[in-house]
A = this chain, B = another copy of it.
């Protein structure tokens, strides 16, 4: 039953039933209410986690106190894998942005398991590689693209995830609960983001009602003023 839940996680998908049972024995379940902090940046690491339901925000705080959202973890994702096989403290803060259920896996136990089962290590590699890929793209965007482009790209990615890009129709997505939250993901301020969204709405590129946003992904690519988002 727990085995079955684990089997659906990308991280453990490749394991045999026997191996799954081994993993299951290690996992401790935990509930987090919205807003609750799981670990703080700089805290000694206890292990890695798997999100079963809800949403976890991974963030870092600058010396000036401003917050940067590294990413939002979605159900099925593992997180805090960076601490595996290192003795580093958690490099960011994890807090539940919705009521969440997580599985906790002590690093030491998981490490021993990976040493025994290469398949498990390979899955971890895949997860880390994807994260690194995303992080490096984000770096480039922060270094070279303006806020409009970053926003358009965010929406485009969302559209791709929801699958509606290829069907050609309109795409409806839910924005993060607050403007501040989205701003902090994009590396900008609440005010700037608001202005941008209102501008895109006025220009007819998006339809926005509360946190529900609709748009045509194909049209969007032509939006950015300086052409950075145009198709090649």
Contact = CB atoms under 8 A, between A and B. Distances in A.
A125 B70 CA distance: 20
A92 B133 CA distance: 10
A114 B118 contact: yes
Interface in A19-42: none
A121 B116 contact: no
Contacts of A142: 139, 142-143, 187
A124 B118 CA distance: 12
A81 interface: yes
A214 interface: no
Nearest to A128: B128
Interface of A: 60, 62-64, 66, 68, 70, 81-86, 88, 91-92, 111, 114-119, 121-122, 124-126, 128-133, 135-140, 142-145, 187, 226-230, 232
Contact of A129 (B68, B86, B133, B138): B86
A219 to B, nearest CB: 17
Task: State the majority secondary structure of interface residues on A.
Answer: helix
B226 A140 contact: no
Contacts of A66: 144
A59 B227 CA distance: 21
Contacts of A128: 125, 128-129, 132
Closest 5 A/B residue pairs (Cβ): A121-B121, A143-B187, A135-B135, A142-B142, A62-B144
B121 A122 contact: yes
Contacts of A82: 129, 132-133
A144 B68 contact: yes
Contact of A121 (B114, B139, B145): B114
B121 A125 contact: yes
A44 B165 CA distance: 24
A143 B66 CA distance: 10
Contact of A136 (B92, B116, B226): B92
Given A85-B122, A85-B129, 15 more contacts: A62-B144, A64-B227, A68-B143, A68-B144, A70-B136, A70-B140, A82-B129, A84-B125, A85-B125, A85-B126, A114-B121, A118-B121, A138-B139, A139-B142, A142-B142
